[in-house]
Amino acid sequence: MSEIYDISVSELRSYCDKLRIGDKVLLTGYIYTSRDAAHKRFDALLNEGRELPFEMKDAVIYYAGPTPAAPGKAIGSCGPTTSGRMDKFAPRLLDCGLCAMIGKGERNSEVIDAVARNNAVYFCAIGGAGALAASCIKSCEVIAFEDLGCESVKKLYIEKFPVTVCVDSNGGDIFKEGRKAYCKA
C-alpha cells in the first residue's frame, strides 16, 4: 500500500529509508535543474578537481529544461525529460551526496545500485504536464552555464511539487515491479 508524504527538501534525506516505490510525495524547497549538457560539464569539473555550481550534498536534481517565463510567471512549461540520458553521470553525483533525482522513465542497474548505496531516491514527475509542474514552481534563477539556454542550471523553489517514488533506497524499481505485476495478472 503506497503512502502520501508532504516533505521539505531540507528533510528529504531523513525520509529516504522510509520511502517505497509507489509512494506519492509533495515536495517543497529548493531544487536544481540539469540535463545532458550540464551533466557533461559537472563531470568535467569533477575530473578537474573543481567545485560544482551548487552543493551536491542532499541536493535534488530535476531533469528539466524549462521554457521562458510568461510575464508575471516564475517559469514557463517545466516538465521532466527522459532520465536515462543522465544514467552515465548519476552514480558519480549520488556518490558526491546527491539525495534525489526527478525525471521520467527507467534507470539502469548502475543508477539503481547507486541510489541504494547512497540512501537516495529517484522520483518520477508527470510527463506531458509541464504547465502543472510550472504551477508548483515559485521562483527560478539561472546559477550556472547560462550559455546552455533552457539547459542551463537553474535553482528553483517548488511548493507541493507532485512526484512518485520510482526507485527507492532498498533498490526497489517501480518499472521492474510493475512489469512483474502486469505479467502475473
Q: Closest by alpha carbon to 54, among 152, 173, 180?
A: 152
Q: Which three cell numbers stand for residue 143?
A: 546559477
* Contact status, residue 67 vs residue 136, Cβ threshold 8 Å: no
- The answer to whether 39 is a known catalytic residue is yes
C-alpha to C-alpha distance for 120 and 51, rounded to whole angstroms: 22
C-alpha to C-alpha distance for 36 and 93, rounded to whole angstroms: 13
Q: From the candidates 25, 31, 33, 39, which is the catalytic residue? A: 39
- Burial class from Cβ neighbours inside 10 Å (0-12, 13-18, 19+) for residue 56 reads buried
C-alpha to C-alpha distance for 31 and 7, rounded to whole angstroms: 13
* Contact status, residue 146 vs residue 123, Cβ threshold 8 Å: no
List the beta bridge partners of residue 24. Answer: 4, 164
Give the residue numbers annotated as catalytic, written as ranges.
39
